[in-house]
Structure 1
Amino acid sequence: MKDIFVTLQNGTVTYSTVHITTDSNLGGQWVTGLPLIGEQSLTLVNYVMFSGPGNISEMYWQQDDMDVQYTSDIVSIYSSTKIDKQLNDQLENMQFLSEEHFAIVQGNNLSNEQGKRILFVKDLSGEGLNNSIFLSQVDSLYDFGDSPSWVKEVVAAFLSGSIAGENKASQIVNTLMNEMSDAQLESWLQKLQDLKGSKITSTV
């Protein structure tokens, strides 16, 4: 469910709190991208509360129950299976591109869409998860419009320091890294920081 909340026309949302109350027979799992504060099942209703910095514009619900298998100030992972120590250590040491909390849901979204603060993944292991996280965070930091996918992958590679993505993106990053001096690279990274919130195209 997207764009279901009242929005401010001339202001910026700095903090959001979401209360969800449903019939006790509904069950399932709600996800918003905000940190889960608590949930309780009562005789007639189920109650869930999410709260944290920033704005949200979407909610996700699935019938199958999931648990929060990992949570930190930046990310929560919803899955029906426990995560292993290797993934836990990987997340603890990961340098995220944004401090805005988001949720990772293991499974498929029936609409085949990713959310602004909700990332759907099939596999919770390996370098592929890192790449999915970086691409999701970059997508929330910039407006890529109709730009080809390699543009997003190039930006993610520079900001994360990891050369990832399809072959074209990797070739572009390798070429630029080999051609740039340290000063030019520092200037380019600063420009990417300055462009946050702006539209990014293949010519920018």
Structure 2
Amino acid sequence: MTMWRISFTLLIVLCSVIGGMLFWQWHVYSDYDQPKNELEKAEQELTVESKGNQLIITQRIEGLKSGKEYRISFPEAITSWSCEKADGEICESVDENPSSFVAENHSLILRYQIELKETNAFLLNDWMGQLPDVEIAHSTIKVVDSARREGSWVAGFPLKGFNKLELIDYYVFAGEGARGSLYWQSEPLTKIMDQNGLQFFAQENKDKQDYPFESLKQIPNLSGISVIFTSHFQETNGIGLMVANPDIKNELLERKIVYNYFLGKAPTLPIEERWLIDALTSLFLAQQSNVPKGNELISELNSVLAKEEIVNFLNAVIREDSITPEKLDELIETIKEKHTHFFTLNKNEDTKLVPLYFNDARKVVLQEKIQEDIEVLLVNDEKLLPFIDTMSALGFEAKALADQEMILLNKGNNNYRFYISQNIFLYNEADFGLLENPLQMINGTVYIKVHLLPEIFKANIEETENEIKISLDF
């Protein structure tokens, strides 16, 4: 009987240990299986009260984790703000950071004011509080106006309702996303139509008409853009809205709508990179770009990519919620199944256009050492390596002369002299000729054709699925 009890006790202990191990494994796997970079999602509601020369704003962000601390950021123009609980008390903070607060009841409530100087019209683009670590999936803006009732409000989200009451005007705008502009003008506006997911607003003297933009039918997720026809504000693009002259031609209006659509995918793009939006617009509409570099970029894409690949690229851009130069490179890479830095290298408008090249994804191994900073460039199916970096990794002392027209290599008793623009090189002061120039200047860097390395340096080249290995015997 005693032995049975001991055996039973051991069995219970063993089962507990095994169960604990299984739970631990499941817990570890569950943590591992969760996407690491996926942002927490929430929704927000902003109430904008128009009083005197101020907008008094209450921003409630819902769907947060109670007890969790969140970083909060505001645009520079808003210098004073507070985080409050539902009872009006100041939000709690667990550290000394004055811009991070703990969510209560799954929400944060932010209060702030915006001073207004304009009397006839204004447009606010960057005016909301942000939670950098949270993705706002849906926004609602409620405008309660008691001070500017003679005019009209439009937001960068679709108008859902409007009520003109005895003492206030009440607007509701709502839609997907975190950011939307806010516009007001002293002259009343009327919503004249909804078309292709767009809302058109105009003053009463604007004739209603259809806008047969066939290109917009190619954008299935085009929605939420408000087009304002007015002469009371300069033509401009906001976030989710645009201001246009009442007499604008249809072709130009179509271009501005497409531009605004692509800009909505990159609202924080630096000004020196905004030309990419114009280039995408021109590529989509098959029109000339307003930027000289944009026309060069389009020409380069058309010369390297097939028409079907251009269409696939544009469709991929349309499917993306947000775009950056790096993301555009990724979309090209998916189509071509090759790496490229085309948009990243060309993102600044003031730099010379770098041609569309691709990079071999395989690791470069020189003299048995993996070279993390050296990539093989693919140009018309020709493999190229950065000459000086490659030869240095192969044991040479490599030096380019100041004029970049001559490169000297030294390794023991082996001395080479190369001329960038010629098919000859010197080896230990003896002239050697080649049928082609082994060197090529690309974006200020001298490259050498990989297939000529064995002929010139008696290099050993071994290519595998994952690596390109090059070595010298001397």
- Does TM, scored on the shorter chain, surpass 0.5? yes
Q: Distance in 1 between matches of 2:235 and 2:248?
A: 18
The equivalent residue for 1:147 is 272
Instruction: Provide the rounded CA distance (Å) in 1 between the counterparts of 2:216 and 2:236.
Output: 28
Aligned equivalents of 1:202 and 1:132: distance in 2? 26
CA contact (8 A) 2:215 2:285 kept: no
C-alpha distance after superposition, 1:4-49 (max 9, x if no partner)? 3333332111111111111276221101021111211111111111
Q: Secondary structure at the match of 1:156?
A: helix
1:166 and 2:166 correspond: no
The percent of aligned pairs where both chains have the same amino acid is 15
Q: Judge conservation of contact 1:144–1:201 (CA < 8 Å) in 2.
A: no
* Distance in 2, Cα, partners of 1:118 & 1:36: 12
Is 1:185 the counterpart of 2:310? The answer is yes
Tell me, yes or no, if the aligned pair for 1:29 and 1:65 is still in contact at 8 Å: yes
Choose from 13, 29, 45 the match for 2:168: 45
Which residue does 1:135 correspond to in 2?
259
Normalising by structure 1, we get a TM-score of 0.78
| CA-based RMSD | 3.3
Q: Using the TM superposition, name which of 90-99 and 126-135 deviates more.
A: 90-99
Question: Partner amino acid for 1:139?
Answer: L
Report which of the two has the higher share of helix: 1
**Structure 1 residues 96 and 27: alpha-carbon distance in aligned structure 2, compared to 1, 3 A threshold:** farther
- Residue 144 of structure 1 deviates from its aligned partner by 4.0
1:35 to 147, 158, 164: 158
Q: State the one-letter code of the partner of 2:278.
A: E
Which position in structure 1 is the counterpart of 2:238?
Answer: 115
CA contact (8 A) 2:156 2:180 kept: no
Q: Give 3-state SS (helix, strand or coil) of 2:129's partner.
A: coil
Q: 1:153 to 1:92 in 2, by over 3 A?
A: closer
Counterpart code for 1:180: L
1:16–1:55 contact (8 Å) kept in structure 2: yes
The counterpart of 1:23, out of the listed 143, 146, 155, is 146
Answer yes or no: is the 8 Å Cα contact 2:198–2:225 preserved in 1.
yes
Residue 226 of structure 2 contacts residue 242 of structure 2 at CA under 8 Å; is this kept in 1?
A: yes
Q: Give yes or no for contact 1:147–1:201 (8 Å, CA) kept in 2.
A: no
Per mean C-alpha deviation after superposition, the further-off stretch among 73-82 and 45-54 is 73-82
Return closer, same or farther for 1:10/1:126 CA change in 2, 3 Å cut-off.
same
Letter in 1 for 2:243: F
Contact 1:151/1:202 (8 A) holds in 2: no
For structure 1, which segment, 69-78 or 105-114, has the greater mean C-alpha deviation from structure 2 after superposition?
105-114
- Aligned partners of 1:2, 1:144: CA distance in 2, in Å? 14
Question: What amino acid is the match of 1:54?
Answer: G
Matches within 5 A, 1:75-90: 75-80=198-203, 81-85=206-210, 87=211, 89-90=212-213
Aligned to 1:4: 127
Please state whether the residue corresponding to 2:134 is helix, strand or coil: coil
Q: Which residue of the partner structure matches residue 324 of structure 2?
A: 198
Structure 1 portions without partners, runs of 5+: none
The alpha carbon displacement at 1:125 in A equals 3.3
Query: How many positions carry a matched residue from both structures?
Result: 201
Write the distance in 1 (CA, Å) between the matches of 2:321 and 2:146. Answer: 45
Contact 2:228–2:243 (Cα < 8 Å) also in 1: yes
The TM-score normalised by the length of structure 2 is 0.37
Write out per-residue CA displacement over residues 145-170 of structure 1, whole angstroms, 9 at most, x where no aligned residue: 23366432222233x24324327334
- Structure having greater relative contact order (Cα 8 Å, sep ≥ 6): 1
Compared CA separation, residues 94 and 127, structure 1 to 2 (3 A): farther
The residue type paired with residue 159 of structure 2 is L
The residue type paired with residue 139 of structure 2 is S
Give the 3 Å change call, closer, same or farther, for CA 201–83 of structure 1 in structure 2: farther
Counterpart AA for 1:154: A
Q: How far is 1:59 from its partner?
A: 0.9
Structure 1 residues 105 and 187 mapped into 2: Cα distance closer, same or farther (>3 Å)?
closer
In structure 1, what residue type is equivalent to 2:253? L
Deviations 1:67-107 (Å, cap 9, x if unpaired)? 1112247311111213323x2x3379643375341111112
User: How many Å separate the matches in 2 of 1:39 and 1:53?
Assistant: 19
